[in-house]
A and B are shown apart, each in its own frame.
Chain A
Amino acid sequence: GQNIDQPTEMTATEGAIVQINCTYQTSGFNGLFWYQQHAGEAPTFLSYNVLDGLEEKGRFSSFLSRSKGYSYLLLKELQMKDSASYLCAVMDSNYQLIWGAGTKLIIKP
């Protein structure tokens, strides 16, 4: 079966760095996406990785290792507004997105 695993909840301090991990087992791979979802709102796109390595975009970076079926989202200089759920999703061989359950990130002052 297809499976995406990510931690249910994480807590971090304002100004710090946090890494949210995602491991996956899917039938085929056509890229991995990270989305941010604030409570009561729809998800917004953060990043897309299809090749191994690190993609940096401002305070957010996303890493992919296809051989390990592993990705992480790195958030630097955390701000209170970064409190949200972070969703990992993998596009399988049928170009369908398989969604993780999301990681709720709590930022404390």
Chain B
Amino acid sequence: GAVVSQHPSRVICKSGTSVKIECRSLDFQATTMFWYRQFPKQSLMLMATSNEGSKATYEQGVEKDKFLINHASLTLSTLTVTSAHPEDSSFYICSARGLGYQETQYFGPGTRLLVL
């Protein structure tokens, strides 16, 4: 299957700081990337969908000014958690989909964020 990388895999930061997470599709062009959040023992929660070159579409209840998404190229999307707070501590996972709408989403390995 296709390969999606995510960096960093783990980050600890102080409350009030910003954290940037990168998601890259390594062997295919990802026209669409998805950002998910997963709290312990809970389901995946879609935060936003981003298409290359356009603004991200955020799910209801997700603050677009707090979770900044940039999808600058067909292989890179970034999620910036601004002014992070302890309640933002979670497992953030990106996934990428190729050119076809029905193509499979492949997931990155995830980023574990801990805000102190």
Contacts and interface: CB of A to CB of B under 8 A. Distances in A.
B9 to A, nearest CB: 10
A30 B102 CA distance: 7
Interface stretch (B11-19, B78-86, B104-112): B104-112
Nearest to A33: B104
A43 B44 contact: yes
Given A45-B1, A95-B101, A87 B106 contact: no
Interface residues of B, number: 17
Contacts of B43: 99-102
Interface in A93-109: 95-97, 99-102
B101 A45 contact: no
Nearest to A43: B107
B93 interface: yes
B107 A95 contact: no
A10 to B, nearest CB: 16
A99 B44 contact: yes
Interface in A16-65: 30-31, 33, 35, 40-45, 48, 50
Contact of B109 (A31, A35, A41, A95): A41
Interface of A: 30-31, 33, 35, 40-45, 48, 50, 87, 91, 95-97, 99-102
> Shortest 6 CB-CB distances between A and B: which pairs?
A95-B101, A42-B110, A42-B107, A101-B43, A42-B93, A43-B107
